Amino acid sequence: MRRIGVLTSGGDAPGMNACIRAVVRTALAHDHVVLGIRHGYAGLIAGDAVPLDRTAIRNTIHQGGTILETSRSLEFSTEEGRLRAAAAIERLELDGLVLIGGEGTFHGASLLAAEADTAALVGVPASIDNDVYGTDYCIGFDTAANCAVEAIDRIRDTARSHERLFFIEVMGRTAGFLALESGIAGGAEELVIPEEELSIARISERIREGFTIGKKSAIVVVTEGKTPGISFQIAREVSERLNFESRVVVLGHLQRGGPPTLRDRVLGSLFGVAAVEALLEGRSGCMVGEVGGDLLCTPLEKTWQKKKPLNEHLLWIFQFLSE
């Protein structure tokens, strides 16, 4: 193992740069050459690589986004594209490749490994949705959740002042991790998450019960799902049932940017070191993650084939804390 590549793929997540920095410094400490692959899998196919040394990653740990930039490559989703990527890996003479991304990144990597005799592949989970199986937390989630909580805190001031009902839409696609944890931390009255069936009647009744015991405002945290903006329809239907004025705030990509929190800087650093160590140990086709405080390696296939469940205890906690 002499030449190690690193790339970021899919959606950006705060803490990716901390991970890149850790990969580079760990590899250099073992006298390995490190190449940064720009623009994710699209850059890998094109062979768009730059040498990474200590100067290249200096003063990056506090930056959001990714210094290597990222993409969602349609070409890599085809077998022909993956074979071109494998050829590029051979041309770059890479012995190992660290893949920082989410389940889509790892799905592509597992297909690449199955179709071509290529470099050792080790994944690092980075997703603000926190939906990757094989780790309790992904790089970027903590920063995004803190952004959502800050928004909830600010909006609550207005909700209380005007006696209004607010619907705050967070990201998450098919997973409610952001909504659940920011909802608990922000003291929300209700959640709309993909893991539970949407019931306008139930949401309306719980909010009505809150008003009857003296509440004059309420906040509902909504996971955007596959269609961002779903909060507007939900808000309209609930408002009609309650005959109560409501407002909608869609946080969108605001949650992805900004400096990573302490937790994401540490997690990115931890995972970056662990990924290089996994390569040095001869591992391949796996993702490093943290489960119950322990570092573990999960086969890449499991990271996208298995659905990561919400924490049932946190769901139970939200139910009675929101009453």
Question: Which DSSP string corresponds to 226-238?
Answer: TSTTHHHHHHHHH
Same domain, yes or no: 169 and 124: no
Q: Are residues 46 and 108 in the same domain?
A: yes
- Statement to judge: residues 247 and 291 lie in one domain: no
Query: What range defines the domain where residue 54 resides?
Result: 3-140+260-305
In a domain, 244, yes or no: yes
Per-residue pLDDT of the chain (323 residues; tens, 9 = 90+): 689 999 999 999 999 999 999 999 999 999 999 999 999 999 999 999 999 999 999 999 999 999 999 988 888 989 999 999 999 999 999 999 999 999 999 999 999 999 988 999 999 999 999 999 999 999 999 999 999 999 999 999 998 888 889 999 999 888 999 999 999 999 999 999 999 988 899 999 999 988 888 888 899 999 997 778 899 999 999 999 988 889 999 998 889 999 999 999 999 999 999 999 999 999 999 999 999 999 999 999 999 999 999 999 998 998 888 77
Q: What does the alpha-carbon distance between residue 172 and residue 290 come to, in Å, rounded to a whole number?
A: 20
Active-site residue flag, 129? yes
246 and 197 within one domain: yes
Q: Same domain, yes or no, for 30 and 18?
A: yes
Beta strand 33-37 with 190-192 is unpaired
> What is the per-residue pLDDT for 46?
94
CATH number, domain containing residue 60 = 3.40.50.450
What tokens appear for 64 in the block?
């959001």
Tell whether 152 and 223 lie within a shared domain.
yes
Active-site entry in 129, 131, 142, 264: 129
Distance separating alpha carbons of residues 284 and 286, to the nearest angstrom: 6
Number of structural domains (the chain) is 2
Q: Is the pTM of this model over 0.75?
A: yes
Tokens describing residue 144: 């995004």
Could you tell me the CATH number of the domain that includes residue 159? 3.40.50.460
Same domain, 11 and 135: yes
Q: Do residues 186 and 201 both lie within one domain?
A: yes
The answer to whether residue 167 sits within a structural domain is yes
Residue 20 counted as domain residue: yes
* 243 and 275 fall within a common domain: no
- The Cα–Cα gap between 58 and 72 comes to 27
> 8 with 119, same domain?
yes
| Amino acid type, 113 | A
Distances (CA, A) of 277 to 30, 70, 117, 140, 322: 10, 24, 21, 22, 44
Number of other CB atoms surrounding residue 44 within 10 Å: 31
pLDDT of residue 1: 62
- Which residues share a beta bridge with 218? 165
For 160, phi then psi, to 5°, come to -70, -40
Q: Where are the alpha helices (DSSP H) in the chain?
A: 16-29, 40-46, 79-91, 103-115, 141-162, 177-186, 200-212, 230-242, 262-280, 300-305, 312-321
